[in-house]
Copies of this chain bind each other. A is one copy, B any other.
Amino acid sequence: MLSKIKPLSLRKVRIEDAFWSARLETNRTVTLPDVYQKCKKTGRIDAFKLNWKPPKPNQPHVFWDSDVAKWVEAASASLATHPDTKLEKLLNGVIDLIVNAQQPDGYLNVHFTVVEPEKRWSNLRDNHELYCAGHLMEAAVAHYEATGKGDFLDAMCRCADHIDTVFGRGKGKKRGYPGHEEIELALVKLYRATGERRYLDLGRYFVDERGRRPLYFDIEARARGKKPYEYGASHQAHLPVRDQKTADGHAVRAMYLYCAMADVAAETGDKTLLAACKRLWKNVTHRRMYITGGIGSSKDGERFTTDYDLPNETAYAETCAAIGLVFWAHRMLHLEPDGRYADVMERALYNGVLSGVSLDGSKFFYVNPLTVHPKGFRFMYAAYFEPVRQEWFGTSCCPTNLARLLASLERYVYSQGKNEIYVHLYVAGAAEFDLAGSKVRLTQKTQYPWKEKVRLIVRPEKPAEFTVALRIPGWCRAASLKVNGRAVRLARITKKGYAKIKRLWKSGDTVELTLPMPIEQIQANPNVRMNNGKVALQRGPVVYCLEEIDNGPNLSEISLPADATLRARYDKDLLGGVTVITAKARRRDDSLWKDCLYQSASSKTKVVNIRAIPYYAWCNRKPGEMLVWIREG
């Protein structure tokens, strides 16, 4: 066991937060039912009845099971914090369908039971059998944890047992691993829920086997009579995982793999795996991540490209990839409590994840560019990706992924270690910790991310000595702290991004953390060629953008002088309540232009007022242009 700290279970945390509560409520009351309806309407749920036959419509797709699984996971997490008998009944019905679809040998996959049964396990690279099984396992664990009921969990254990008979290094077993990672981390969850070591071993096998030569994807391609070809980097199979030094290929797959690597490292104590995770973490967060926490810059292959290759308008930055980054950051944070991990987790949550869902919870972005011009957007991403959020997609991984992350946001706020309480995120509410057998209740009051004050009231059952570790966000350069009204020198007690207050706590002790949030003009590393000469506005953890509705069309005409006075003002009526940033900026004087494309340069500009809103909230009014990186000057 490498992990130093553990997350709290969902039930131990309550969120009552000016920023998040409304979003979570919307997730529960709008997104969750909507996503269910979409799964129902598209045939994804009824597919588990296994009665599809050609030429019926809605032929079950190879990845359909995963969408239902993520809904089950989300609904289960929701039940854990918000009991709801109607939802529970609905959920039970879906789980019955899933469990009944399991084959006698434990195999469970709709497509390869009713559409192409002869192709079971024949193309791990392109199909999604192990991926779907993994999501169903995650769902089963979530359902068990939320309800205590074991039927789904038992079924998925049988499924894992079956998979264990098919894959591995034993004689007669296939030396395969999934083209889309997911089952690896799910098997570790299954191990944690059941204590069955074989599941951890199988998950570890999938991680360890990946990328070894001869490449399994080639072997199985040959067995299908197909040309073997090196396609490994897209699937993180170009090298054994411990030899991978840069984040390559499909970004969501990479995140799920890295999560599994962190999980296996945590459970087995494998430091070579931890070292690989840390190298990859550095590569992603120091070279390949948008300021929004979006990752995977290329549409082609939904993948990472090269260091510093972060185009704004063609950014893919799939919502699922940012969610995957949150998952991974959370795991790294528990392996090594360091604010750098929580900083990235926060960056993604408040920006590139949240941008994926509309404020009303009913519409989703699959891709999250940092500049959008509606006309160009349509051409870049084809009709499938409109420059407005959509209710659903053909490949609809993002809506259900958002639903399950938001339904379990409680998990990300705190952790507890041996005699330590960790506060990672500043989200108002309360939590209950067990420290050496003694209960400690912690209440958090804050208007974060809009306001700079955070108040924590600590209530141990009886006075006790332990540590409260408060994250000092990386974006904050002048944090200050008081305990029971008395200032504490932060530098002295802050280590790896956490201020550690060790003392004898008595009920009612109050910690007051101040995180000044000046508006910052942020530059990108000069190697990010797209952003030279540009700045992004950030205040606290929130990245801002300009929208056409506030600033008129042709946003790239606008430039911001380095000495511009930037003002922040909270507007409770705008976009569910946001702090907006205003400034005087310049705009190119286009009155000089007739209907021609090129002419001699003029430096004429006019002064304009600009208004920036949080990036996550864009495209919730009239659709139009959007821009994060503003020209300097």
The chain A residues found within 8 Å of chain B, CB to CB, are 282, 285-287, 289, 291, 298, 300, 305-307, 309, 311, 313-314, 371, 373, 375-376, 379-380, 382, 520-530, 532-533, 535-536, 554-557, 559, 562, 588, 590, 593, 595-603, 631-633
A311 and B595 alpha carbons, distance in the complex (Å): 19
13 contacts between A and B (CB under 8 A): A286-B596, A286-B597, A291-B597, A309-B373, A371-B529, A376-B529, A522-B600, A523-B600, A523-B602, A526-B593, A527-B554, A528-B597, A529-B556
A559 and B603 alpha carbons, distance in the complex (Å): 14
Is the Cβ of A525 less than 8 Å from the Cβ of B593?
A: yes
Q: Which B residues lie within 8 Å of A521 (CB)?
A: 600-601
Q: Which of B285, B588, B632 contacts A526 (CB 8 A)?
A: B588
Q: Which B residues lie within 8 Å of A595 (CB)?
A: 282, 286
Shortest 4 CB-CB distances between A and B: which pairs? A529-B556, A521-B601, A306-B375, A305-B379
Is the Cβ of A562 less than 8 Å from the Cβ of B603?
A: yes
Q: Which of B314, B562, B597 contacts A601 (CB 8 A)?
A: B562
**Which residue of B is nearest A301, CB measured?**
B379
Is the Cβ of A557 less than 8 Å from the Cβ of B526?
A: yes
| Contact A597-B524, Cβ < 8 Å, known A300-B379, A379-B309, A532-B556 | yes
Is the Cβ of B309 less than 8 Å from the Cβ of A311?
A: no
Is the Cβ of A598 less than 8 Å from the Cβ of B562?
A: no
Instruction: Return A45 CB to nearest CB of chain B, in Å.
Output: 28
**Which residue of B is nearest A291, CB measured?**
B598
Q: Which of B309, B373, B382 contacts A376 (CB 8 A)?
A: B309
Is the Cβ of B597 less than 8 Å from the Cβ of A285?
A: yes
| Contact A554-B533, Cβ < 8 Å, known A520-B600, A562-B603, A596-B286 | no
Q: Which B residues lie within 8 Å of A311 (CB)?
A: 313-314, 376
Is the Cβ of B375 less than 8 Å from the Cβ of A598?
A: no
Q: How many copies does the complex hold?
A: 2
Instruction: Return A461 CB to nearest CB of chain B, in Å.
Output: 43
Q: Which B residues lie within 8 Å of A588 (CB)?
A: 526, 532
| Contact A556-B535, Cβ < 8 Å, known A286-B596, A632-B633 | no
Q: Which B residues lie within 8 Å of A527 (CB)?
A: 554, 590
Q: Which B residues lie within 8 Å of A526 (CB)?
A: 554, 556-557, 588, 590, 593
Q: Which B residues lie within 8 Å of A300 (CB)?
A: 379-380, 382
Is the Cβ of A522 less than 8 Å from the Cβ of B598?
A: yes
A556 and B309 alpha carbons, distance in the complex (Å): 13
A376 and B300 alpha carbons, distance in the complex (Å): 12
A562 and B599 alpha carbons, distance in the complex (Å): 15
**Which residue of B is nearest A373, CB measured?**
B529
Instruction: Return A308 CB to nearest CB of chain B, in Å.
Output: 8
A75 and B470 alpha carbons, distance in the complex (Å): 77
Q: Which of B291, B556, B590, B599 contacts A530 (CB 8 A)?
A: B556
**Which residue of B is nearest A587, CB measured?**
B526
Instruction: Return A22 CB to nearest CB of chain B, in Å.
Output: 28
Instruction: Return A145 CB to nearest CB of chain B, in Å.
Output: 36
Q: Which B residues lie within 8 Å of A562 (CB)?
A: 601, 603
Is the Cβ of A522 less than 8 Å from the Cβ of B599?
A: yes
A307 and B379 alpha carbons, distance in the complex (Å): 12
Is the Cβ of A597 less than 8 Å from the Cβ of B525?
A: yes
A145 and B574 alpha carbons, distance in the complex (Å): 72
Is the Cβ of B597 less than 8 Å from the Cβ of A631?
A: no
A523 and B520 alpha carbons, distance in the complex (Å): 30
| Contact A535-B309, Cβ < 8 Å, known A529-B556, A590-B526 | no
Q: Which B residues lie within 8 Å of A559 (CB)?
A: 533
**Which residue of B is nearest A603, CB measured?**
B562
| Contact A305-B598, Cβ < 8 Å, known A527-B554, A554-B527 | no
Is the Cβ of A554 less than 8 Å from the Cβ of B529?
A: yes
Q: Which B residues lie within 8 Å of A601 (CB)?
A: 520-523, 535, 562, 632
A285 and B595 alpha carbons, distance in the complex (Å): 10
Is the Cβ of A305 less than 8 Å from the Cβ of B596?
A: no
A582 and B620 alpha carbons, distance in the complex (Å): 48
Instruction: Return A554 CB to nearest CB of chain B, in Å.
Output: 6
A590 and B314 alpha carbons, distance in the complex (Å): 25
Instruction: Return A436 CB to nearest CB of chain B, in Å.
Output: 39
Q: Which B residues lie within 8 Å of A524 (CB)?
A: 597-598
14 further interface pairs, Cβ-Cβ under 8 Å (given A286-B595, A533-B533): A282-B595, A286-B597, A289-B597, A291-B598, A298-B379, A311-B313, A521-B600, A522-B599, A522-B600, A523-B602, A524-B598, A526-B588, A526-B593, A533-B631
In the complex, which of the residues A305, A382, A527 has the most CB atoms of chain B within 10 Å of its own CB atom?
A527
A373 and B313 alpha carbons, distance in the complex (Å): 16
A590 and B282 alpha carbons, distance in the complex (Å): 20
Q: Which B residues lie within 8 Å of A306 (CB)?
A: 375-376, 379
A554 and B305 alpha carbons, distance in the complex (Å): 17
Q: Which B residues lie within 8 Å of A285 (CB)?
A: 597
Instruction: Return A255 CB to nearest CB of chain B, in Å.
Output: 18
Q: Which B residues lie within 8 Å of A371 (CB)?
A: 529
Is the Cβ of A523 less than 8 Å from the Cβ of B556?
A: no
Q: Which B residues lie within 8 Å of A289 (CB)?
A: 597
A153 and B313 alpha carbons, distance in the complex (Å): 50
**Which residue of B is nearest A520, CB measured?**
B600
Instruction: Return A283 CB to nearest CB of chain B, in Å.
Output: 10
Q: Which B residues lie within 8 Å of A376 (CB)?
A: 305-306, 309, 311, 529
Is the Cβ of B632 less than 8 Å from the Cβ of A603?
A: yes
